[in-house]
Amino acid sequence: MFQRIAREILSGLTVAVVALPLAIAFGITATGSSEGALVGLYGAVFAGFFAALFGGTPGQVTGPTGPITVVATGVIAAHGLEAAFIAFIMAGAFQILFGLCRLGSLIRYIPHPVVSGFMGGIALIIILGELDQVQRSFLVVAGTMVLMLVSMRVIKSVPASLMALVIMTAGLRFADSLLRDVRVGPVPLNAAIDYIGQIPESIPSIAVPQLSGSLMLTLVLPALSIALLGSIDSLLTSVVMDNITGTRHRSNKELIGQGLGNAASGLFGGLASAGATVRSVVNVRSGGRTALSAATHSVILLALVVGLGAVVQYIPLAVLSGILILTAFGMFDWESLRKAHVSPRGDVVVMFATMIITVVVDLTVAVAVGVVVALIVHLVQSGQRKASIIHDDLDTYRMEGPLSFLSVDRVFSTLRNDRPKLSLSLKNVNYMDISGAKALLSFIDHSHKSGVELKLKDLPPHVENRLTALANEEQGDKLKAVVEGQGAVP
């Protein structure tokens, strides 16, 4: 018991180290001022703590993320920081309402290409937003990114973002003057180095905002956008956590926890937040499995906040830009982009359409259009609405109809019945999209981890070819084993 608690606390410490530079970077990006450092940290502290305690995904870490930061930036620019805090509180209330109305289960109907396109669009927005710093301080931004890439390969025990933050900040205290107005002929490589500057040092306290009917009415749509994107972002992270841990999250409870977290964050002057995939994965891989590790990460960040201003003021903005740009590159679904040439054309169209609309128009519009286009593609390609599962014998099932984003959650929830053996016929699967293929490959992986003796039989050529094309090397080996009837994957 003591070892379990100690492991959770140590995992929380590890995640706090990873979260620190990201919270500062996202906060400053959202507000456009040094005050944003505390705003970002408060978001990680309060949203992270309450979402951990009341959420439905054990071990999930909540904090400022790319999608939320993009929307929050627009709200702050349009209405001011104080009004934005009200929008964050309202967004939290919407998320609680979503959870109480049991809307969390709708996440299962968001197709994989929409998610890929959405995250790619967010990544592009973040990168485009940092181009000013790249232009002013190219050498510092590039140096930060190179240092992070090297750290990822050489020093895996320390988060690359923290390593780059500490080394670059310390080094630039001595090399600042050497990196001003550096040129190669007429081409400027480093014009100047900007710093965060002095931030107020204070213990966070509740600030009840002054509400007015007209202001709240103006903030309804921004708050709803934050709530929707925060919910999607968080529940997608929950799905990732399910795949890693082999458990199943409670989506509606997670929305309530996220809502309470964002409401608390707004009351304490913090940035709206969501379940953060990278931080959550770090938590699980460090041994965190319960709310204790995620809550510990917030407590440690709170301890760091007090008196942190004296150190934070010396952090170069270009270093934070380098961290954000590399983080944005990690948000792209590179696997889907690499395999676009072997993916269904309709899914590829959905992915790139979602990505472009995210950048050019709006995030919520992009998701809505992506889902509608995916539905049209599905109806044209399959002619049927969803797949069904037929139980033939004790351990034998048949799948019939189109295996797509409309069916995968229900189908594989039915098949995860904790039986030691499972035989699944795919003879009558007439269509499979990327979501269906990804879900089936994940099911094979889950069966392997759970010790289930799985056998897939009667695969139509189009299904087998699609699975083979979309599987990575490890998934390909497991797929070959179960299709060939070798039983449990070794």
Instruction: Return the residue matching tokens 């969803």.
Output: 386
What are the pLDDT digits (tens) for 319-377? Answer: 999 999 998 898 899 999 999 999 999 999 999 999 999 999 988 889 899 999 999 99
Per-residue pLDDT for 489 more than 70? no
Interhelix angle 277-285/2-31, rounded to 10 degrees, is 160
Closest to 196 (Cα-Cα) out of 36, 34, 355, 331: 34
Q: How does the average pLDDT of the chain come out, rounded?
A: 89
Token pair 């590790």 in the structure block, residue: 293
Identify the burial level of 490 via C-beta atoms within 10 angstroms of its C-beta, where 0-12 means exposed, 13-18 middle and 19 or more buried: exposed
Banded model confidence at residue 201, pLDDT cuts 50, 70, 90: low
Tokens 């180095």 found at? 193
Residue 182, both tokens? 């550096």
Cα within 13 Å of Cα(62), Cβ side: 41
What is residue 50's predicted lDDT score, i.e. its pLDDT? 97
The residues that bridge with 421 in the sheet, in sequence order, are: 453
User: C-alpha distances in angstroms, 21 versus 49, 144, 163, 405?
Assistant: 18, 13, 10, 36
Q: What is the mean pLDDT of residues 401-408?
A: 90
Tell me the pTM: 0.84
In the chain, the percentage of residues whose pLDDT exceeds 90 is 54
| Residues whose CB falls within 8 Å of the CB of residue 413, separated by 6 or more in sequence, listed in order | none
Predicted confidence at residue 490, as pLDDT, reads 41
Whether 44 has a pLDDT exceeding 90, the answer reads yes
Region 189-211: mean pLDDT is: 78
Q: Given a cut of 70, is residue 202 above it in pLDDT? A: no
pLDDT of residue 440: 93
Q: Give every CB contact of residue 436 below 8 A, 6+ residues apart in sequence.
A: 387, 402, 403, 404, 405, 407, 408
For residue 484, pLDDT beyond 70: no
**pLDDT digits 0-9 by tens, 265-306:** 999 999 999 999 889 988 988 888 899 999 999 999 998 887
Instruction: Choose between 186 and 425: higher pLDDT.
Output: 425
Instruction: Tell me the pLDDT tens digit for each residue of 216-239.
Output: 999 999 999 999 999 999 998 998
pLDDT at 303: 86
